[in-house]
A and B are shown apart, each in its own frame.
Chain A
Amino acid sequence: MLIKLALNGIKSRWKDYLVLFSGLVIASAIFYMFEALATNQNFIKQNTTIGAAVIIFQLGSILLAIITLVYILYANSFLMTMRQRTYATYMMLGAKSGKIGQLIFMETLIIGIVATLLGIVVGTGLAYGVGTLLMQRMGGTIHNFQPLYPLAIFITLAFFMVLFLIAAIINRRQLLKQPILKLLHSSNTPTAIKHRPVVWLIEAIVGVLLLATGYWAMIHLGVLGLVLALITIVLGSYFVFNALAIWVLSLLRNAKLASKGLNKFTIA
């Protein structure tokens, strides 16, 4: 029953989860991509020219980790806002705080595991693309590179599980801290989730600019350029992919809404 309630919680807010969820998938995808490139020993050893890029990937994944942590905490606070009323109803009906804690852990971890696994799949694609590109640019041989790399998978999974565990702990604390009446009367849809298209557009443009700066700096600026590239490429990748994902999702959503509207219209 506990699992059922947790799954139900996710199902009931599926459409709202989707936007945040895509962000999580992309974060873990990029993280995996960096890890796959940075930890691939064959790839690195045989391609000494790629050494510099490897440092970028390794440092990049650390930076990405920090960004991801911030993003998860942010996404998390919205997920919680959506779920407050339901949890308050459980409490009103006599759920103990331990039970509420279990439910929160389960919900957060289910979302986390699914997002991370999907992210690894997407990340494998990304790693293959970027790896191939790098090989071509820097004159290596392609057959050494495995985009699906066990160590990278393990690091990604472990890292994200820890993140989601932290998120779940924070969720639980924040929920149980609040008075039940306030939770019971809270709104179900946080306003900040209704992203506006302008925001995505700005995000996408800024992302592309950051990426361009990063690659330019890497080629023209030497060591200083590497540091700059590190920051801008990570941020840029994240912005671009996130904006793209949200845009696609909103297209899907609108398409669904439109067909529903049509149905109502024809029935009437």
Chain B
Amino acid sequence: MDNIVTVNQVTKTYGGQNEKSYQALKGISFDVQKGEFVGIMGASGSGKTTLLNILSTLDTASSGQVTIDNQEITQLKGNELADFRAKEIGFIFQDFNLLENLTARENIALPLSLQNVAAAKINAAVSKIAQRLAITEILDSYPTQISGGQKQRVAAARALVSEPAILFGDEPTGALDSKSARDLLETMDDLNKNDQVSILLVTHDPFSASYCQRILFIKDGVISTQLQRGNQDRPTFYQEILTTLGTFEQ
């Protein structure tokens, strides 16, 4: 099977020459296969966000390699990096990160308009993804006029509009009520199963994690263990995650 993401011996050390330095990632390695839905769990401060920031090119690794869709990303710079962000990756955050003064439609179109894609193409792409995420009715609303769950759907549509190789999520359900969180997770599951969207989801919430096919547990800057869902149904997997977390914490 093809790997969509390969992480090889990545380290990240925070702090400059004159500050106290702290190694948040200590040579982490794993991979994500095309079409996989992978979760990353770990205690607060274990380096989940650090890892995701490196994978999504928002931060740079201190050492090691990251390959996404056959491109070594740690070496990307300038316009190549911008193109890579625009075409290969999509991300959703806990706080949505939508622009308040643009409508949902304009927010979703942003990655394409910033890349100078023709208007007709943009419109078609936006309509398509909006339909897929069931947000066609709110396309002309501003972020302040819609609910948290809808905002996250708009953010997801923006992340997916350029059909990226992988979708990254850092606690995307963190600010949602349980019903909206469940809806979003069901949608991600559906996109993964039916549209073969590869997803890497960082979360500390076992319920969110139970939607994944595989979960990597990160501890002290490396992967300490992993769980495979296999043929288990979600509630059973959820119990297994809880058990693992229980033994893990000791």
Interface residues of A (CB under 8 A from B): 1, 5, 8-9, 11-12, 86, 89-99, 179-181, 184
Contact = CB atoms under 8 A, between A and B. Distances in A.
B53 interface: yes
A241 B87 CA distance: 51
Given A8-B101, A11-B101, A86-B99, A184 B58 contact: yes
Interface string B74-88: 000011001111110
Given A94-B82, A94-B87, A96-B83, 20 more contacts: A1-B113, A5-B113, A8-B101, A12-B100, A12-B101, A90-B114, A91-B82, A92-B58, A92-B91, A94-B84, A94-B85, A94-B114, A94-B162, A95-B86, A96-B78, A96-B79, A98-B79, A179-B59, A180-B58, A184-B97
A184 B52 CA distance: 15
A96 B76 CA distance: 13
Where chain B touches its partner, the secondary structure class is: helix
B246 to A, nearest CB: 33
Interface residues of B, number: 24
Nearest to A103: B114
A91 B53 CA distance: 14
Interface of B: 53, 58-59, 78-79, 82-87, 91, 97, 99-102, 110-111, 113-115, 158, 162
A1 B115 CA distance: 11
A107 to B, nearest CB: 13
B91 to A, nearest CB: 7
Contacts of B82: 91, 94-97
B127 to A, nearest CB: 17
A9 B101 CA distance: 8
Q: Which 9 A-B pairs have the closest CB atoms?
A: A94-B86, A12-B101, A94-B85, A95-B114, A96-B82, A93-B111, A1-B113, A96-B79, A8-B101
B59 A92 contact: no
A92 to B, nearest CB: 7
A201 to B, nearest CB: 34
**Candidate in A5, A8, A96 with the most chain B CB atoms within 10 angstroms:** A96
A250 to B, nearest CB: 23
20 contacts: A8-B102, A9-B101, A12-B101, A86-B99, A89-B97, A92-B58, A93-B85, A93-B111, A93-B114, A93-B158, A94-B82, A94-B83, A94-B114, A96-B79, A96-B82, A96-B83, A97-B78, A99-B114, A184-B58, A184-B97
